[in-house]
Structure 1
Amino acid sequence: MDFITFILTTVFISLSGVLAPGPMLALTLTEGKVNRLAGVEISAGHAIVELPIIAVLFMAGKSFEIGIFKEILALSGGILMLYLAFRELKGKNSEIRIRGILSGIAVSALNPYFIIWWLTIGFTLILISMNFGPAGIAAFAIAHLACDFGWYGSVSIFANRISGMKNINRILSIISASILAVFGLYFIVSSIRALHLYFR
């Protein structure tokens, strides 16, 4: 995987989570009706939780023998992506209503799927980023956070203009689930092929 492909993969996988209707979107839509910058504030709270996680996982990744560990992690991440895709299509989401930056912190830190995502899918991307040195992890963090700020910032700005939210949410669910399923299958297939080489 070259650097450009890695960044594009990061963006698409990040967007699959960002576009998913759930607590973050519910908060942004609710607060965006009265605060145009709600999406930016919520994303800032989200970033406060994410950046330390990225740093810790990057340092942890440097202490591991990548090899087989990375493939097992990729397999786990792929399975998780398929599960999350299934949940999206089944409409399994919840709402948490708080306000501002603190709401972004709470909705991230208290969401078990957020932590699981970072320990599997996110960690896999971080391990891949290590192939590109410091620029790789920096580009990964910037690309991932840009998806959060760009999407939720836009949603809060245009929240008052959006109508028929149920239909829009369903379209976003299908898009998110499709992205998750495609990359989930890619991770699973590529990791199984690599593991096959280890054990044959």
Structure 2
Amino acid sequence: MVVSLLAGVLLGLSLAAPPGPMNAVIANESVNGGWRSGVAAGLGAMTADACFFVLALLGVVTFVREFPVVRGVMVGIGGLLMLYFAYGAYLDAQTALSERSAPGAGFRKAFALAITNPYQVVWWLTAGVALLDPGSVEVAGYTLATGNGTLTVVGFFAGIFLWITGFPSVLVTTGRRVDSLAKAVGYGSAVLLAGFGVLFCYQSVDALLKTL
């Protein structure tokens, strides 16, 4: 039982913790909107992962891999969204902290990014398929025998929840001590999102041209 939960938690953290566009959105929402906004953004990403889990069970995720045009269009949409939200993060960095956005905005923003994020689709096609195997799970190159697929799934979403609540807490607490953190995170998030946006748009064009 403990091994199943722990394996799921580690798998969830392997998806949620690495630096990337989702954590850039969570960071920006946290320092500009407070803990609730940061957690709301995290819940948006987590909701997208729940959708991916259901789609993986139904075999739909594999459909994206088999059809390059579908994946190319999805990558392009994700890239354009990231460029749009990069501009929003830049504007947030220039806005006073008193002008906070509603938590619901962060949820919708993170969900839209996550559901079109090709990196998350790739994760579900690789490490994520372990959730569909009730006997084992692979974390950091190691295969752990779990024996209970249900507990592994519970642990997986628990791991994501730990990150999306703990990460904003650290940012908000630090931000109260360092006044310049909000601007630094805002500009950093804008640069990161813009970088991923340009990369995804390039990958989208390249993938679609190869199908012609």
Equivalent residue number for residue 34 of structure 1: none
Structure 1 counterpart SS, 2:211: helix
| Count of equivalent residues | 167
Larger displacement relative to structure 2 (187-196 or 11-20)? 11-20
**Relative to 1, partners in 2 of residues 1:112 and 1:15: Cα closer, same or farther, differing over 3 Å?**
closer
Larger displacement relative to structure 2 (66-75 or 84-93)? 84-93
Q: Select the residue among 4, 20, 27 that pairs with 1:12.
A: 20
**Relative to 1, partners in 2 of residues 1:146 and 1:79: Cα closer, same or farther, differing over 3 Å?**
farther
Amino acid paired to 2:49: I
User: Are the counterparts in 2 of residues 10 and 143 from structure 1 also a CA contact under 8 Å?
Assistant: no
**Relative to 1, partners in 2 of residues 1:58 and 1:125: Cα closer, same or farther, differing over 3 Å?**
farther
Equivalent residue number for residue 53 of structure 2: 58
Report the Cα offset of residue 114 of structure 1.
3.2
Q: Select the residue among 34, 53, 68 that pairs with 1:27.
A: 34
Report the Cα offset of residue 154 of structure 1.
1.1
**CA-to-aligned-CA distance 1:165-185 (integer Å, 9 cap, x gap):** xx3322111100111011111
**Relative to 1, partners in 2 of residues 1:146 and 1:82: Cα closer, same or farther, differing over 3 Å?**
farther
Residue 134 in 1 paired to residue 97 in 2? no
Equivalent residue number for residue 148 of structure 1: 164
Report the Cα offset of residue 76 of structure 1.
0.4
**Relative to 1, partners in 2 of residues 1:191 and 1:70: Cα closer, same or farther, differing over 3 Å?**
same
Q: Select the residue among 96, 100, 109 that pairs with 1:95.
A: 100
- TM-score, normalization: structure 1? 0.63
Report the Cα offset of residue 89 of structure 1.
1.4
Whole-angstrom CA distance in 1 between matches of 2:17 and 2:195 = 11
Equivalent residue number for residue 125 of structure 1: 119
Structure 1 spans left out of the alignment, 5+ residues: 1-5, 29-37, 98-106
User: Which structure shows the bigger proportion of residues in helix conformation?
Assistant: 1
Report the Cα offset of residue 149 of structure 1.
3.5
Report the Cα offset of residue 16 of structure 1.
1.4
Report the Cα offset of residue 69 of structure 1.
1.2
Runs of 4+ in structure 1 off by over 3 angstroms are 6-10, 22-25, 45-53, 108-112, 135-147, 156-160
Equivalent residue number for residue 33 of structure 1: none
Equivalent residue number for residue 190 of structure 2: 177
Equivalent residue number for residue 87 of structure 2: 86
Structure 2 counterpart SS, 1:11: coil
Structure 2 spans left out of the alignment, 5+ residues: 1-13, 140-155
Amino acid paired to 2:60: S
User: Are the counterparts in 2 of residues 130 and 136 from structure 1 also a CA contact under 8 Å?
Assistant: no
Report the Cα offset of residue 49 of structure 1.
5.7
**Relative to 1, partners in 2 of residues 1:48 and 1:116: Cα closer, same or farther, differing over 3 Å?**
closer
User: Cα RMSD over matched residues?
Assistant: 3.8
- TM-score, normalization: structure 2? 0.60
